[in-house]
Each structure stands twice: as structure tokens, then as C-alpha cells.
Amino acid sequence: MKNITVLGTGVLGSQIAFQTAFHGFDVVAYDIDQAALDRAAERFDALAARYVADGVENAAGGRAAATIARIRLTSDLTDAAATADLVIEAVPENLELKQNIYRTLADAAPETTIFATNSSTLLPSALAASTGRPDRFLALHFANEIWSHNTAEVMGTPETDPSVYDAVVAFAAEIGMVPIPIKKEKAGYLLNSMLVPFLEAGAGLLVDGIADPEAIDATWRIGTGAPAGPFEIYDIVGLTTAYNISRMGGEKQQRFAQLLKEQYIDKGKLGVSTGEGFYTYPRAN
């Protein structure tokens, strides 16, 4: 793998493109129009600063800034795919939109190109047929802030060629990720299969009036040594996302969604991003 193309330069796509270029690969980053590409350029500048501020290995001395020179931006999908060895797709989480982009990509990319989706909630088998190359397609799922939360969950479909799977695992390691092999398709991969029930358990304790967020979080932190409890994590994830997931859940989850809406979202308290959620930020220690 030498030439890597990333589709979508939003929150995750920009991070994937930057992390890949940081590790020496030539990257083409594709988005729909010039306005999106302008935002991508701003995201790359911000990431260069974050890598230095967060002390990412070797990011000082101009390496983070030089990374941007290895990323070429384009809004032409055919051009983006033309010489790609691997295409990583990080466009919005919408089945039809993703299927359409894979159908176009199937014609635009060389037959040998591997396609990987970063989708968080769609199983790769839902997209495999539209790629036109199900044996060269799988999921490669990153976590937000990939330079420090550096897991790369690798999940094929029953049709994925094992050598393609292995090549993507090796690529993930080359860009500084810890590859996480997943043996069977599983909604939520490993991380969300554990995190979501954990967060829901915390929410259940709150809506049943058992304890306050502070007490629930403190119990988890002190009792396990983990850095954050469920409500501290909800604030990081963002309360709008938490609301959208909870309102689709069972009765208790829906009560939590209502609480989120009335007590937080309607008051503009969306979590860390707005400076206030269950807690106020920056946190006073």
C-alpha cells in the first residue's frame, strides 16, 4: 500500500487522512465541493497544532506541518480513486449515500484497489454488493481523536479475502494504530459493544433516582481506576448524540432521552463542546 485515498474530510475523515500522511503515505482526500475542501484545510491546520500540543511522537520540529504537504485535496471522485491502493470511506452515516458512493467508486478505482468503510453502525455486508468487489472490501473503524485513541477495529464480511484482511491489518499498524482483529461481523464492533451497555447502566441508575451523576461517576473512577465515569463520557460524546441513540431505546432509555432534552439540550448544554453538560468545562478540580 502506497497511495491512500480518504473519502469525506469531516471529523473522522480529516483525522484519518492526517494520521496516514503523518506516517509517510501519500494521501488524496476527497470531499464534495470547494467549501468542504476549504474546511478540510482548516481541519488539517488544527490537527497539526493538536499533534504538537498533545506531544504526539515526533510531531514537533515541523513534522506535523510537513504532513499537510503529503495530502492532496480534490472534489473529483474519479481523480481521487485513479491511483489508490486503499480507499478509506468516511462519508456521512447514511446507507443509501454510502452505497451510491461505492457504486461510483467501483467504476473509478483500479480492480486491485481495496475499499474500507469507517462506518460506526452499518455492517460491512450491507455495503459489500455495491462495491462491486466484495472480496476486497471490509470495515476499518477508527475512534475519534485517532492519534491518541489509536484502535483500528478491522472487521471483514464472510466474502472478504483473508489476504486483503491481513494487508489492512498491516496498514493499520503502519500508521500507528493498534489493529483490533474482529472475527465475525458484529454491530458496534468491540468498543461500542462494551461501551453502550455501560453508559446505559449509568443512565438507568440516574433516571431511576438511585444516585446523582457525580456519585455514579465517582464510584466508577475510584472503584475501578478508570479515568472517567458514564456521565463524564456522555459529556465527551456529546449529549445530542446520546439523545439520538437513547430515544430509539427501551422505556428507560427513552426516559433518559427526555431528561437529556429538557434539562440539557433545550438549554444549549451539549457537553464538553459547549462548555457545559452534566459538568461545567473546564472542570475545576
CB nearer to ligand NAD: pick between 12 and 48: 12
Q: CB 204 → ligand NAD: shortest distance, Å?
A: 24
CB nearer to ligand NAD: pick between 237 and 259: 237
Detail the DSSP E strand segments found in the chain. 3-7, 26-30, 71-74, 86-89, 114-117, 137-142, 151-155, 178-182
Q: CB 203 → ligand NAD: shortest distance, Å?
A: 19
Residue selected from 142, 234, 243, 278 as contacting ligand NAD according to rule CB under 6 A: 142
- Of 93-101, 148-156, 224-232, 260-268: span binding ligand NAD (CB under 6 A): 93-101
Strands 178-182 vs 151-155: parallel, antiparallel or unpaired = parallel
Give the strands of the sheet with 137-142, arranged side by side.
71-74, 26-30, 3-7, 86-89, 114-117, 137-142, 151-155, 178-182
CB nearer to ligand NAD: pick between 27 and 206: 27
Residue selected from 36, 37, 106, 167 as contacting ligand NAD according to rule CB under 6 A: 36
Strands 151-155 vs 137-142: parallel, antiparallel or unpaired = antiparallel
Q: CB 93 → ligand NAD: shortest distance, Å?
A: 4
Is 153 one of the binding residues for ligand NAD (CB under 6 A)?
no
Is 271 one of the binding residues for ligand NAD (CB under 6 A)?
no
Is 73 one of the binding residues for ligand NAD (CB under 6 A)?
no
Assigned C-alpha cell, 261: 432534552
For residues 200, 268, 210, 218, the Cα torsion angle rounded to the nearest 10 degrees is 80
SS3 138: strand
Write out the binding residues for ligand NAD, residues 109-128 only, by CB under 6 A: 118-120
CB nearer to ligand NAD: pick between 126 and 207: 126
Q: What is the C-alpha separation between 184 and 156, in angstroms, rounded?
A: 7
Residue closest to ligand NAD when measured from CB atoms: 10
CB nearer to ligand NAD: pick between 32 and 41: 32
Residue selected from 2, 11, 104, 218 as contacting ligand NAD according to rule CB under 6 A: 11
Residue selected from 5, 6, 13, 216 as contacting ligand NAD according to rule CB under 6 A: 13
Could you give the residue ranges of the DSSP H alpha helices within 118-250? 162-174, 191-207, 213-224, 230-237, 239-246
Q: What is the C-alpha separation between 152 and 176, in angstroms, rounded?
A: 10
Residues in contact with ligand NAD by the rule CB under 6 A: 7-13, 31-32, 36, 90-93, 97, 101, 118-120, 141-142, 144
